[in-house]
Structure 1
Amino acid sequence: MHTPSPSPAAALLDAVRHDGFSFATADIMQPLLESAGELTDWPAFAASWNRLGPDAYLAAKGRFRRRRHATFMARAQGPVELAAHQAHYQSLHYNALQGDIQRWFEPIEPAVANGASLRSILGFCHGFFGALSPGITQWHVEVHQFRIEASSGTAGEPTPEGSHRDGVDFVLVLLVDRHNIASGTTTIHTPDGKPLGDFTLTHPFDAALIHDPRVFHGVTPVTPLVADEPAHRDVLVVTFRAAGNGL
């Protein structure tokens, strides 16, 4: 008797349940996002990475990263709603480099925060992560736009804190664009450092889905393919954690 293959969403859910993570190529991820809503403003959404402010908290270490940040809230059976702008905070337990600091970043632009693409991405995450943890009644959601820039003299470091956990329940890492860069491979490890998998986000909509309490993740430094041309890696990171859980 032929057993039908699971749907792409079901296969990803099974992988995250079993392994603590899953990688999704663009041909899988984009239709899943479109099933949650429209991506009609994607060109403008992607272009907004050109207007990110510098990450001042890394300036002293010479690592050039640009970002914007926004916070949302969601009930299990309600919409994902934009919250008041607030600091991003992680304890030293989860971020040895920048823990125990209230980090204030420029807010994600209103047109982006309320736009179709981000709302569809958040809608997908709400349904997907909610299916993995149906007992959570309210979510604290954070959204980060990151641009990592590299030059011929300095590699860009997507995760300067090294392999880490974010101190949340679930993480989506979605590639928006990469230009003139090599490497930038996402790596997954057990808490004691054993490699579990790796995947290079190469095309827009390539993604990693991570159950943060179970595995550590990191990204290898990026370097320019052509030394004297601009080089960057643009990603959207969305985190979901049960509301009320401290970091």
Structure 2
Amino acid sequence: MGMMVAPYREIREAVHSVSNTLTGRQWITLSGSDITRLLNITREDIQQFGALWSDLRLDHYMADGGCYRYRRYGQFSLDPDTLEKHQLPHEPYFQPGYINTLNGEIKRAFEPLTAEFALHHVLDRLIRFMAEVCNGASGKKVPWNVRLHPYRIVATEDSHGMPTPEGLHRDGVTFISSVMIRRHNIQGGVTTITDASQTHLADVQLTQPFDLMLANDETTMHSVSPISMANSELNTAYRDVLVIAFTQP
């Protein structure tokens, strides 16, 4: 039996509802089952898209000396009317020190996104859906700058993996999202969301493929707790996530 596809009206209603919630409380979560149904993401899509996380590269810029983070990086411009994305020339990633107290003030030359990743239809659907939600929360069509950060955080028997080694932070963008791709043999990885004054708002754990957290980065802060290996008899333990940042030019 094939996966049920959400009708267009249901997708529009979902965008409207999620946008209103994002406007009201500044952050939202959606289950992976809702995302995959709304966007017609099949089990095969989940496997194919998730397999791309095995081709990330070690982050050599960790000021804490950690060797637990693998990633790539790329950015796109988004047509405000058609929501088509256009990949921008690859360049180093930079954050000011007041935004990233651990790795800020450095031009970090990460490996670019692979063509297979950048052109994947699952990525197109995710970006379009989230852009519409962000447009709804913004009250207008925005020519978003979209930055993509596929991450793999690794834990070993001897060491934890740190999804947010900089601690509670914001990313210096307009909206920030985390999409769960896969949790393999790990414990931990709980997302904490606060307001701009660091008053606690919620603790969220993304567990299933395509579980989503989306927040207004200008009014909230976030962190993710360390991960540890759940079963030391298995050889690997990791947390695969796609971070998508939307910035209004």
Asked whether the two chains share a fold, i.e. TM above 0.5, the reply is yes
Bigger drift between 204-213 and 189-198 goes to 189-198
Partner of 2:98: 93
1:65 aligns with 2:66: no
How far the C-alpha of 1:39 sits from its partner, in A, is 8.4
CA contact under 8 A between 1:63 and 1:157: conserved in structure 2?
Answer: no
How far the C-alpha of 1:59 sits from its partner, in A, is 6.9
CA contact under 8 A between 1:39 and 1:116: conserved in structure 2?
Answer: no
Residues 74-93 of structure 1 mapped to structure 2, 5 A cutoff = 74-78=78-82, 79-93=84-98
How far the C-alpha of 1:38 sits from its partner, in A, is 8.0
Report the Cα distance in structure 2 between the residues aligned to 1:115 and 1:220, rounded to whole angstroms.
30
Report the Cα distance in structure 1 between the residues aligned to 2:78 and 2:139, rounded to whole angstroms.
13
Q: Which runs of 5+ in 2 are unaligned?
A: 1-11
Report the Cα distance in structure 2 between the residues aligned to 1:10 and 1:137, rounded to whole angstroms.
16
Q: 1:51 aligns with which of 41, 47, 55?
A: 55
What number of residue pairs does the alignment pair up?
236
Identity of aligned residues (%): 31
Partner of 1:25: 31
CA contact under 8 A between 2:22 and 2:215: conserved in structure 1?
Answer: yes
Report the Cα distance in structure 1 between the residues aligned to 2:120 and 2:46, rounded to whole angstroms.
9
How far the C-alpha of 1:27 sits from its partner, in A, is 2.1
Note the aligned Cα RMSD (angstroms). Answer: 1.9
TM-score normalised over the length of structure 1: 0.89
Partner of 1:3: none
Residues 1-247 of structure 1 mapped to structure 2, 5 A cutoff = 7-34=13-40, 41-58=45-62, 61-78=65-82, 79-135=84-140, 137-229=142-234, 230-243=236-249
Report the Cα distance in structure 2 between the residues aligned to 1:127 and 1:157, rounded to whole angstroms.
31
Report the 3-state secondary structure (helix = DSSP H, G, I; strand = E; otherwise coil) of the residue aligned with 2:76: strand
How far the C-alpha of 1:135 sits from its partner, in A, is 4.0
Letter in 2 for 1:88: Y
Report the Cα distance in structure 2 between the residues aligned to 1:195 and 1:60, rounded to whole angstroms.
26
Q: In the TM superposition, what whole-angstrom CA distance separates every residue of 1:47-73 from its partner, at most 9, and x where no partner exists?
A: 010110000111752241000111100
Report the 3-state secondary structure (helix = DSSP H, G, I; strand = E; otherwise coil) of the residue aligned with 1:155: coil
TM-score normalised over the length of structure 2: 0.88
Report the 3-state secondary structure (helix = DSSP H, G, I; strand = E; otherwise coil) of the residue aligned with 2:123: helix
CA contact under 8 A between 1:95 and 1:166: conserved in structure 2?
Answer: yes
CA contact under 8 A between 1:80 and 1:126: conserved in structure 2?
Answer: no
Report the Cα distance in structure 2 between the residues aligned to 1:76 and 1:39, rounded to whole angstroms.
30
Partner of 2:7: none
CA contact under 8 A between 1:136 and 1:242: conserved in structure 2?
Answer: no
Report the Cα distance in structure 1 between the residues aligned to 2:164 and 2:172, rounded to whole angstroms.
15
Bigger drift between 53-62 and 162-171 goes to 53-62
CA contact under 8 A between 2:63 and 2:103: conserved in structure 1?
Answer: no
How far the C-alpha of 1:40 sits from its partner, in A, is 6.1
| Higher strand residue share | 1
Q: In the TM superposition, what whole-angstrom CA distance separates every residue of 1:5-56 from its partner, at most 9, and x where no partner exists?
A: x94433322221111101111122222333xx88864322110101100001
* C-alpha distance 29-41 of structure 1, shift in aligned 2 (>3 A): closer
Report the Cα distance in structure 1 between the residues aligned to 2:150 and 2:53, rounded to whole angstroms.
7
